[in-house]
């Protein structure tokens, strides 16, 4: 992917998607898939369309539930026939600014990511030949696809629409954002102390950095290492990435209070458990990330960190706002 050719400034478009405080002014999109109202609204319909699963019981929205911070509250995503994944459903806020997708980063763009859950036997279990026909068979979706793309539904069009909708899922204007913008009363004293720890002693910013509090990179904290072996090698299981055994993508922290359970496998139930995990230096293993170390946090410091993390919940928007 060549970054210089990827992004198209939304200011050049007739319509722009409003963004909340704390995020970049414009939502980036590839030149081959600019954001439009019609495409986002179509993508939303596809996102919640259960007809894109083998038995009609599962949609993207089954695991990415808006009311649960676009997760499902389960340690492993549940697909067709009740099959449970070894990895939990990640949040998808502000993924327009993402650089890697899935816990192992196997997709470089939202367009490349969009159809993979549909094709995964444990998730929605379709074949490539079944996707477009299922959309065409639905009268409403078929008509909307023709209106947006000027042709009968194709797999690539489904991917473009789904990616456009996901780009519209935003979280910002949190107490943290208001504090950074100059409202010194937006965070309590305890939360401000937590922010200081986040940036300092706890060194959370080694990975959770930037507007979305993620470096979009992969780190081994030991969550995949159990009983002296790799239960999940993470990115290291991908061809050519063996050097990153046990590494998983740094998740963004927007709406983290509502996104339990935590880690790639949902093995930590609460934010307090997450803080304890990092305070102990993670789970030791042969490929442990060099940033991991015992933190020796005091009880009040742990409480302050949790309080700060809760300040990252803000205003959530999804889809294209109604025309005024």
CA gap 273, 276 in Å, rounded: 5
pLDDT, tens digit (0-9, with 9 covering 90-100), for 156-189: 999 999 999 999 999 999 999 999 999 999 999 9
Direct distance between the N- and C-terminal alpha carbons of the chain, in angstroms, rounded to an integer: 37
Enumerate the β-bridge partners of residue 229.
226
CA gap 42, 319 in Å, rounded: 9
What pLDDT, on the 0 to 100 scale, is given for residue 16?
A: 87
Say if 3-171 and 172-314 have the same CATH topology.
Answer: yes
pLDDT at 2 over 60: no
Query: What is the architecture of the domain spanning 172-314?
Result: Orthogonal Bundle (1.10)
pLDDT at 141 over 80: yes
Q: How many CB atoms lie within 10 A of CB 56?
A: 12
Q: What is the CA radius of gyration of the chain?
A: 20
Token pair 């990640």: residue: 90
- Preceding peptide of 191 cis, ω within 30°: no
Kindly tell me the number of DSSP H helices and DSSP E strands found in the chain: 12, 6
Does residue 192 contact residue 199 with C-beta atoms inside 8 Å? no
CA 293 to chain centre: 26
List the one residue out of 316, 97, 308, 321 whose CA is nearest residue 195. 308
pLDDT above 70 covers what percent of the chain? 95
Does residue 168 contact residue 157 with C-beta atoms inside 8 Å? no
Kindly state the greatest CA–CA separation across the chain. 61
Distances (CA, A) of 259 to 64, 108, 182, 252: 11, 23, 27, 11
Topology of the domain comprising 3-171: Cytochrome Bc1 Complex; Chain D, domain 2 (1.10.760)
Q: Beta strands of 4-138 (E only): which ranges?
A: none
Sorted by where each begins, the domain ranges of the chain are 3-171, 172-314
Angle (CA) 26 30 35, round 5°: 55
Q: In a 3-state reduction of DSSP, which class is residue 225?
A: strand
H/E stretch holding 272 reads: helix 271-279
pTM of the model: 0.94
What pLDDT, on the 0 to 100 scale, is given for residue 199?
A: 98
* Residues 6+ away with beta carbon under 8 Å from 320: 15, 17, 37, 40, 41, 168
pLDDT at 203 over 80: yes
Helix-, strand-, coil-residue percentages of the chain, each rounded to 5 = 40, 10, 55
pLDDT, tens digit (0-9, with 9 covering 90-100), for 28-51: 999 999 999 999 999 999 999 999
pLDDT, tens digit (0-9, with 9 covering 90-100), for 84-120: 999 999 999 999 999 999 999 999 999 999 999 999 9
What number of residues does the chain have? 324
């Amino acid at each position: 992917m060549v970054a210089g050719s990827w992004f198209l400034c939304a200011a050049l478009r007739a319509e722009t998607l409003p963004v909340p405080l704390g995020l970049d002014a414009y939502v980036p999109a590839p030149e081959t898939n600019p954001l439009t109202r019609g495409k986002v609204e179509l993508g939303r319909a596809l996102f919640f369309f259960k007809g894109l699963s083998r038995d009609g019981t599962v949609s993207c929205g089954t695991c990415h539930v808006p009311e649960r911070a676009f997760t499902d509250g389960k340690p492993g995503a549940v697909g067709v026939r009740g099959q449970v994944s070894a990895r939990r459903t990640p949040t998808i806020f502000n993924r327009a600014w993402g650089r890697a997708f899935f816990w192992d980063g196997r997709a470089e763009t939202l367009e490349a990511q969009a159809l993979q859950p549909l094709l995964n036997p444990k998730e929605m279990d379709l074949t490539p030949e079944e996707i477009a026909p299922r959309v065409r068979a639905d009268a409403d979706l078929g008509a909307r696809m023709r209106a947006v793309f000027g042709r009968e539904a194709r797999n690539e069009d489904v991917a473009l629409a789904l990616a456009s909708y996901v780009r519209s899922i935003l979280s910002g204007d949190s107490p943290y954002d208001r504090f950074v913008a100059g409202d010194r009363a937006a965070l309590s004293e305890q939360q401000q102390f937590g922010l200081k720890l986040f940036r300092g002693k706890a060194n959370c910013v080694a990975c959770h950095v930037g507007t979305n509090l993620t470096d979009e990179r992969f780190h081994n904290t030991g969550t995949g290492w159990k009983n002296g072996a790799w239960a999940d090698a993470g990115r290291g299981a991908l061809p050519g990435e063996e050097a990153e055994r046990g590494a998983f993508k740094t998740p963004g922290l927007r709406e983290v209070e509502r996104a339990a359970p935590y880690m790639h496998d949902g093995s930590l139930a609460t934010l307090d458990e997450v803080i304890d995990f990092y305070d102990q230096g993670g789970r030791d293993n042969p490929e442990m990330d060099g940033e991991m170390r015992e933190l020796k946090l005091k009880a009040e410091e742990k409480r302050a960190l949790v309080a700060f993390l809760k300040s990252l919940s803000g205003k959530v928007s999804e889809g294209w706002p109604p025309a005024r």
